[in-house]
Structure 1
Amino acid sequence: MSNRAFTGGVRPGGLTTSTEIRILLCYLLKSIGTPLTRQEIENALLGEELVNYFELSDALDKLCALGHLKLEDGAYQVTASGSDLADTLEGEVPRSVRESAVNAVLTAQQYKRKQAQHKAEVTRTTDGWQVRCTIEDLGEQVFSFELYLPDELTANAVKEKFIADGDTVFRCMLGLLTDNRQLLSDLLK
């Protein structure tokens, strides 16, 4: 049986063997240091087009069956044998792929944390779309604004950008309203 992986949906430079994919998964979970759900792993690796969906699913199942990963409470954790495998064979996976995978997971985790604090809701109006953006801290709303936009695509883009960078929007607005030119200058650098 060939160890070649399906490559549909994988960008050039992505992983093309089942073995590489299994090594990457052990490396990723070891490097992140916290359990990851299947969705988090899929979002990171498929979003970066590093692996094929079917190969990823198969690799997760095989690694669990071999005892290199364990699935507890809906999240995968690397075991001691999986950690050893990652240490021994990490060089078999290109460094750029390893770094892309880790960065994708860290970015997704950061976005998830910000999503808990930076809220954005898109609703349809009679003549366009409304985006209501709020920042909450300690259960209290500390900042909010609403924008009316002509189309859903733009409204959803604003929503995603606010979730990712709402703190910068807040600091900019605070700098403008308090005439704090130093704060604005720092933001524009």
Structure 2
Amino acid sequence: MSEKMVFKDSEPGSLSDIDEIKILICYLLNSAPQPLDREQMNYVFQVTGTVNYFSFCQALKELTDTGHVAEQDAEDGKRVFVLTQRGADTAKTLSGVLGRASRDKVVAAAAELLSRTKRDKGQKVAVDRVEDGYIVHLTVHDIGSDLLDMKLFAPDRMQADLLADQCSENTINLYKGIISILLNDRRGLAEIVEEMQPRRQE
């Protein structure tokens, strides 16, 4: 799911008190490993069902107006939000008024979102039509030379899309698996199989 604008109706257990929502925003920004933009914060709150979109917008505006949160430019040109000292003090002092479940959910969702964003920036998966089928092209970027540059053939679009999805979702294991096979590292292969085993049982 894209983190671009998401709208959801309020769910049971979602926050409706603006002051609590402001505390949750401060807690999220204080806990996240890097600043978040408006769309990222909105995605986190909507996907966890903790805050509806309009309440989030109101709370964020009030936090900005009162100097708890400030906007700044990120390297990619986006406008991101950071806590001021006042906002950090609020996060540390008042976060206890929030339910632990709500706090844990939003922090986990933010971590997953940022991890996925970082992963997507470090890799590229493309599906190209060729005369006799499709080519799935996976490139894993790194500082300097690429870590992996691989092409796979698929006879039809359905299989090509499946391969592309798996390349995107399992890039690390794919890379580790190739290295383990080439180095005859049976332990490394066993670790990959063990890690993937729970998925097969679900």
- Name the TM-score class by shorter chain: 0.7 to 0.9
Q: Give deviations 1:143-177, integer Å, cap 9, x for gaps.
A: 2133535439x82x654553343111111123234
> Aligned AA for 1:26?
C
SS in 2 for 1:141: coil
2:158 paired residue among 151, 154, 168:
151
- Asked if 1:173 is matched to 2:178, the reply is yes
Residue 40 of structure 1 aligns with which residue? 40
Aligned partners of 1:123 and 1:131 also within 8 Å = yes
Which piece of structure 1 moves more, 157-166 or 105-114?
Answer: 157-166
Distance in 2 between residues matched to 1:178 and 1:72, nearest whole Å: 47
What is the RMSD computed on CA atoms of the aligned residues? 2.7
Change (3 A) 1:28 1:185: same
Distance in 1 between residues matched to 2:22 and 2:157, nearest whole Å: 46
Aligned partners of 2:133 and 2:153 also within 8 Å = no
> Aligned AA for 1:146?
L
Q: Between Structure 1 and Structure 2, how many residues are aligned? A: 181
Which piece of structure 1 moves more, 64-73 or 131-140?
Answer: 131-140
Deviation for aligned residue 1:142: 3.2
Q: How does 1:4-23 map to 2 (within 5 A)?
A: 8-23=8-23
Change (3 A) 1:119 1:27: same
Unaligned runs of 5+ in 1: 1-6
Query: What is the identity percentage for the equivalent residue pairs of Structure 1 and Structure 2?
Result: 27
TM-score by structure 2 length?
Answer: 0.75
Deviation for aligned residue 1:137: 2.3
SS in 1 for 2:34: coil
Distance in 2 between residues matched to 1:127 and 1:21, nearest whole Å: 55
SS in 1 for 2:187: helix
Distance in 2 between residues matched to 1:70 and 1:151, nearest whole Å: 46
Aligned partners of 1:111 and 1:164 also within 8 Å = no
> Aligned AA for 1:111?
R
Deviation for aligned residue 1:66: 1.3
Aligned partners of 1:10 and 1:49 also within 8 Å = yes
